[in-house]
Structure 1
């Protein structure tokens, strides 16, 4: 359970960091929309109709996700390993989820 939570947290924070970078680089709303679509509709889970959002709403959503993308999964019947690896990869984190830890 703790390993799953750690990997989801890493992915959530990494995705937020990537969105923050895109906003600082003043990437187009289309690029933001496409990245959000990958997060919400390509990795799994409940599909979101991002096409119904205006450009201003996409920018507002992106701003709200700067600190991290909220993720949740049931413990025993939740995300598959491949979905978590896809989220890590989308966040530019190694698919293995391995990192150096200082205790």
Structure 2
């Protein structure tokens, strides 16, 4: 049986920038390039442990780079921004409430 870790390592080396930046697309004379955060992980076992392997991958779209005559601009995707902002606002609100409560004493 081939070494699973080596095979997964060879495949992971190809991910890099290709997975974070998509191929540029032309839409009505405007060039757009999608941008994402990608995370991958792999695991492998040995003959002593019963052999096996697995992996995962996550890609979160951040937005697109838009190239027009005026220049290059990044336009964020609001969905990941909201997903990140909700827990941040909750934690910040809790911390602020504790600070206010401590200052009242």
Question: Is the pair's TM-score, using the shorter chain for normalization, greater than 0.5?
Answer: no
Larger Rg: 2
Q: Which has the higher strand share?
A: 2
Higher helix share: 1
User: TM-score scaled by structure 1?
Assistant: 0.28
TM-score (norm 2): 0.27
